[in-house]
Amino acid sequence: MNVLVIGKGGREHSIVMKLAESKQVKKIFVAPGNAGMESIATLVPIQETENERLIAFAKEESVDLTIVGPENPLLNGIANEFTFEGLRIFAPNKEAALIEGSKSFAKSFMMKYDIPTANYQTFTDPTEAKLYIEKTGTPIVIKADGLAAGKGVVVAETKGIAFAAIDSMLVSKEFSEAGGKIVIEEFLAGDEFSLMAFVHGEHVYPMLPARDHKRAFDNDEGPNTGGMGAYAPVPDITNEILEYATKEILQKAASGLVAEGRSFTGVLYAGLIMTENGPKVIEFNARFGDPETQVVLPLLRNDLAQVILDVLEGKNPKLKWEQQSCLGVVLASEGYPSTYQSGVVVPEFDGDSFVVYAGVAKQGEKIVSNGGRVLVVGAKSNTLGEASSLVYSSLPPNEVLEGLFYRTDIGRQKLGALQ
C-alpha cells in the first residue's frame, strides 16, 4: 500500500514510525511532515488544510490509505471530501469531529447520553461569567469553546485568575473565535489519564491508557501546554476502571454519535480524571493524542496498517500489547508555551532511547528547532522506572541545553508507579 499521513508533529512521526514496520506498506508520504521524518517517509509540501491539493496528490500517487493526525483538518472537512472522492481515509468527518471542535457541544452531548463529566455552564458575556464565579467560588475550570492548540484551558485557583482568564478569552480575544464562547465547569480532584480507542461507528477498540503531563515545569507548575511528556500504561488505573471507562464513556460516546447522525470513524480520545466517584471526562479529542501517541504506539504489537484496515472493514483488530512500559519526555523551546525562538541546533542522543521529532526543520545538514515542542525522547523497558532511567540518562542536563528545556519529573509523581 501507499499511505499518506497528514500532519507535521511528533504524533505524526510516531504514526509514520509504526507504519514503517509494516510489510504491507510500500511507500509513506507525509504532508507536510518535518525534517526528522525524512529517513523513513517522503515529505510532501502541502499544508494540512489544503484539501483540494491533498486529494489531487492522493489520486496522482495512488494512495491507498490516508491517516489524519491533527485536529484542524478534521474540522476543515478533510474526511468528508476524501470520502466524496472515493478515497479511503481513517479520520472522522467534520460533523463527528465537533466532539473536539466545540466544548459546549461536547458537554451537552455528554449530558444527553449520560456520560460522566463535570457540571458546567457556557457564557459569551464576561459580566455574566464573572457573576457565576462569584456565586460558585474557586477552584474552577475555564475553557475556550473552540480549538486552542491545547492551551485554551485555565484551572483557576483564585477569583483573580478566573476573572483574568475570562477577560483574555471573551474581551481580549486571545484565542480569536475559539474563545468567543467559554465553558466554565466544576473543578474535579483526582489523577488524570488518557484513553484512546480505534472507533468505527458502534465498534470501539480501546488502546492502553497513558498519562500526559500538561504543565510546563516540574512539580506540575507553570502554564498549561500541549503536553510535556507521557507514559503508558498507567499502573494505578486498573482493568476494572478501564472496562468501566470503555463501556460508560467511549462506547456511549460512539453510540451517541451514531444516534446523532454523526457516526465516528478514527481515533476517539478521552481525557479522563479519576475522581472519588470513578472516571469522568475532562475532554474528548477526535484524533490520536500528543504526546500520548508517542508512548502508546511503541507498545502496540500489531501491524498498525492492518489494524486500521480491520477497523474500517468492521473487523475486530484483536489488539496485542507489549508487556512493557514506555515513557517519553518532551524537549521544548525555551519560553514555550509563550514566545520562543526557533533555529536552535537540536542535540543528538545516545543510549537505548528513541527520538520522535515534532517542531524541527533542516538548516544545512543540521536539524534545528522550529516550534514550541521540538521532540520527544522515549524508551521502552520492563518497568516504568527502568524506562524513565533510560530516557533521562540519554538527555543532557537542562543547564547545558541552549534554547531548550524539559521536565525532569515525568512519571515521578507516583513513586509507587516507578517500582
**Fold of the CATH domain 191-312:** D-amino Acid Aminotransferase; Chain A, domain 1 (3.30.470)
Is domain 119-186 in CATH 3.30.1490.20, yes or no?
yes
Confidence band, pLDDT 50/70/90 cuts, at residue 248? very high
**Using 50, 70 and 90 to split pLDDT, how confident is the model at 145?**
confident
The pTM of this model reads: 0.93
pLDDT digits (tens, 9 = 90+) for 270-308: 999 999 999 999 999 999 999 999 999 999 999 999 999
Please report which confidence band the pLDDT of residue 81 belongs to, taking 50, 70 and 90 as the band edges: very high
150 pLDDT higher than 70? no
Residue with cell 515529505: 43
CA dihedral 328, 333, 335, 340 (to 10 degrees): -150
Mean pLDDT over each residue of the chain, to the nearest integer = 94
* pLDDT of 415 strictly over 60: no
Q: Residues spanned by CATH 3.90.600.10 within the chain?
A: 325-418
Dist. CA 190–CA 409, nearest whole Å: 18
Return d(Cα 39, Cα 2) in angstroms, integer: 16
What backbone torsions phi and psi does residue 171 show, to the nearest 5 degrees?
A: -105, -55
Q: Are 113 and 245 in contact (CB under 8 A)?
A: no
Q: Mean pLDDT, to the nearest integer, of 129-138? A: 93
Mean pLDDT score, 8-28: 98
Q: Which of 35-44, 88-97, 266-275, 349-358 has the lowest mean pLDDT?
A: 349-358
- DSSP letter string over 191-245? EEEEEEEEEETTEEEE---BEE--EEEGGGEEEE-S-SEEEES-TTS-HHHHHHH
Task: Check: CB of residue 183 under 8 Å from CB of residue 106.
Answer: no
CATH 3.40.50.20-classified regions of the chain: 2-93
pLDDT of residue 389: 94
- The β-bridge relationship of strands 265-275 and 191-200 is antiparallel
CA distance 275 to 279: 6
Return the CATH class of domain 2-93: alpha beta
Is residue 142 within 8 Å of 171, Cβ to Cβ?
no
Distance of CA 302 to the CA centre of its chain: 21
User: Helix, strand, or coil here: 279?
Assistant: strand
pLDDT at 224: 84
DSSP string for 132-147: HHHHH-SSEEEEESS-
Residue given cell 492548540 in the structure block: 149
Q: What is the mean pLDDT of residues 91-116?
A: 96
Pick the CATH number of 325-418 from 3.40.50.300, 3.30.230.10, 3.90.600.10, 3.30.70.360: 3.90.600.10
C-alpha cell at 289: 493524542
- Considering the chain, what percentage of its residues have pLDDT values greater than 70? 97
Contact of 19 with 28, CB cutoff 8 Å: yes
SS (H, E, C) 33-102: CCHHHCCCCEECCCCCCCHHHHHHHHHHCCCCEEEECCCHHHHCCHHHHHHHCCCCEECCCHHHHHHHHC
Q: How far apart are CA 3 and CA 27, in angstroms?
A: 6
pLDDT in tens, 169-224: 998 887 777 668 899 999 999 999 999 999 999 999 999 999 999 999 999 999 88
What number is the average pLDDT over the span 10-25? 98
In the chain, which residues fall in CATH 3.30.470.20? 191-312
The pLDDT, as a whole number, for residue 272 is 97
pLDDT at 417: 42
So what's the pLDDT on residue 419?
Answer: 41
